[in-house]
């Protein structure tokens, strides 16, 4: 139970100069920390607004610390009342609170043309900052690859092998499942359209070109971006939170050579293999659905596939898969190295890494489609 004599209280007293709010009790953190007392004080203060003619008498206050002084200072509108009675110690406490109390930051207007221009400028500056860091990490990767080429025996091959297993081998089941289902869905959709024109045999051309050239590598890259890209950012971000990155810098271990380059090499090697694996799984689903929906046997499908799809399509798919892998690794490392030492930044960085990786993969795939539109068609 709170001590009644120590409880902060306010009493009204009428004088010749006007009403005076006489404070008593202990206006300190120990008493004000009690929720019941705090609610009572807030309710009592509401009856005495900070008006010009309102007087305040603190002579009966037993104790006033920074919590009570801050409460009164805020209630007075961060200005000294015209009529105030208090001791020298109380005035010193209030002056200290007034000196270190920051003025409220004015809120920016949300509307208007200039506000839109300001937001656009902030987005542009943030984009330039990300681009600057990304160019720097690409340049550092090239330098690290030259260092590795000069001394390949001293390279971090164990890290590359471990990342290749985690990002490549462990991703085979999910990529095969998703690829198989995509092949089934695409074959069923195409069969209903081709049957109307009696062109059932052309399903081999459609599935072969779309799955081997485009959907297989793109689907594998999107899955790896969501699975491994987020893992890269989370791993490096946790190293930032636990100060392992600072420890590596103190020990003279380069972040690019031991963190970025092994992951980029692992995905550059693993992504083409995963893309081919996903394309094969998608073709298996397409063969099954074609047999069930159109009666095209697997033997005919496999015999007609080499004539419908040239080797250049597979070469193009493997080539751009290497680019996809390197970009996913670089984007994941980029956001991981930008993580601040707190959990909120770690979550935001992981989310931004996945979204950016998928967006970059789709944009680069569109660029490949435009540049190599006459290859293999």
Contact 349, 233 (CB under 8 A): yes
Taking residues 209-214, report their average pLDDT: 90
Same domain (yes/no): 225, 316 = yes
Distance CA 8, CA 93 (A): 17
Same domain (yes/no): 238, 361 = yes
Share of the chain above pLDDT 90, in %: 37
Same domain (yes/no): 150, 231 = yes
Taking residues 113-130, report their average pLDDT: 86
- Counting the structural domains of the chain, the total is 2
Taking residues 298-305, report their average pLDDT: 88
Same domain (yes/no): 39, 146 = no
User: What are the C-alpha distances in Å from 78 to residues 24, 28, 57, 68?
Assistant: 21, 19, 17, 14
pLDDT at 105: 53
Of 79, 100, 121, the last residue of a domain is 100
Q: What is the DSSP letter of 1?
A: -
Structural domain contains residue 115: no
Structural domain contains residue 106: no
Same domain (yes/no): 24, 160 = no
Structural domain contains residue 248: yes
Kindly indicate the confidence band of residue 143, based on its pLDDT and cuts at 50, 70 and 90.
Answer: very high
Res. 45: pLDDT tops 50:
yes
CA 205 to chain centre: 40
Structural domain contains residue 31: yes
Q: Against a cut of 0.75, is the pTM above it?
A: no
pLDDT at 353: 93
Mean pLDDT, the chain, as a whole number? 87
Structural domain contains residue 116: no
Q: What confidence tens digit (pLDDT) does each residue in 346-365 have?
A: 888 999 999 999 999 999 99
CATH classification of the domain holding 19: 3.30.750
Same domain (yes/no): 95, 154 = no
Same domain (yes/no): 143, 194 = yes
Taking residues 68-77, report their average pLDDT: 86
Contact 8, 33 (CB under 8 A): no
Structural domain contains residue 112: no
Taking residues 290-305, report their average pLDDT: 87
The residue segments making up the domain with residue 73 are 9-100
Same domain (yes/no): 282, 348 = yes
Same domain (yes/no): 365, 309 = yes
Of 84, 100, 116, the last residue of a domain is 100
Of 80, 100, 120, the last residue of a domain is 100
Same domain (yes/no): 200, 82 = no
Range in 107-111, 202-206, 329-333 with the lowest mean pLDDT: 107-111
Structural domain contains residue 125: no
Kindly indicate the confidence band of residue 273, based on its pLDDT and cuts at 50, 70 and 90.
Answer: very high
Same domain (yes/no): 21, 147 = no
Please give the full DSSP string across 281-307, using - where no structure is assigned. Answer: HHHHHHHHHHHHHH---HHHHHHHHHH
Question: Does the CA dihedral 178-183-184-185 come out positive or negative?
Answer: positive
Instruction: Please report, to the nearest 10 degrees, the dihedral formed by the alpha carbons of residues 231, 141, 313, 293 taken in order.
Output: 0
pLDDT at 1: 47
Structural domain contains residue 124: no
Taking residues 287-304, report their average pLDDT: 87
Same domain (yes/no): 288, 145 = yes
Kindly indicate the confidence band of residue 182, based on its pLDDT and cuts at 50, 70 and 90.
Answer: very high
Specify burial of residue 173 (Cβ count, 10 A radius: 0-12, 13-18, 19+).
Answer: exposed
């Amino acid at each position: 139970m709170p001590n009644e004599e120590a409880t902060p209280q306010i009493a009204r007293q009428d004088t010749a100069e006007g009403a005076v709010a006489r404070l008593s009790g202990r206006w300190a953190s120990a008493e004000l920390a009690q929720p019941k007392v705090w609610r009572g004080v807030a309710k009592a203060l509401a009856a005495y607004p900070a008006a010009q003619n309102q007087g305040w008498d603190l002579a009966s206050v037993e104790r006033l610390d920074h919590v009570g002084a801050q409460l009164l200072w805020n209630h007075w509108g961060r200005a000294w009342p015209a009529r105030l009675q208090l001791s020298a110690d109380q005035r010193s406490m209030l002056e200290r609170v007034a000196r270190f109390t920051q003025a409220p930051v004015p809120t920016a207007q949300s509307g208007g043309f200039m506000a839109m221009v300001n937001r656009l400028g902030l987005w542009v500056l943030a984009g330039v900052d990300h681009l600057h860091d990304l160019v720097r990490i690409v340049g550092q990767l090239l330098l690290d690859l030259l260092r590795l080429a000069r001394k390949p025996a001293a390279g971090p091959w164990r890290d590359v092998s471990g990342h290749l297993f985690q990002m490549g081998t462990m991703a085979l089941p999910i990529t095969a499942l998703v690829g198989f289902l995509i092949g089934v869905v695409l074959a069923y959709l195409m069969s209903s359209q081709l049957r109307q024109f009696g062109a059932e045999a052309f399903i081999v051309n459609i599935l072969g070109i779309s799955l081997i050239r485009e959907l297989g590598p793109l689907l594998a890259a999107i899955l790896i971006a969501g699975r491994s890209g987020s893992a890269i950012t989370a791993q490096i971000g946790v190293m930032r939170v636990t100060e392992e990155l600072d420890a590596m810098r103190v020990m003279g271990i380069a972040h690019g050579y031991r963190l970025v380059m092994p992951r980029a090499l692992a995905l550059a090697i693993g992504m083409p293999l995963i893309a081919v694996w996903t394309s094969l799984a998608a073709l298996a689903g397409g063969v099954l659905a074609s047999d069930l929906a159109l009666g095209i046997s697997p033997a005919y499908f496999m015999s007609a596939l080499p004539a419908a799809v040239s080797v250049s399509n597979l070469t193009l798919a493997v080539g751009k898969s290497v680019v996809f892998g390197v970009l996913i690794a670089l984007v994941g490392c980029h956001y991981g190295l930008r993580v601040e030492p707190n959990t909120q930044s770690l979550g935001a960085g992981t989310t931004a890494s996945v979204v950016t990786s998928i967006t970059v993969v789709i944009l680069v795939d569109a660029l490949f489609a435009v540049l190599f539109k006459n290859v293999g068609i």
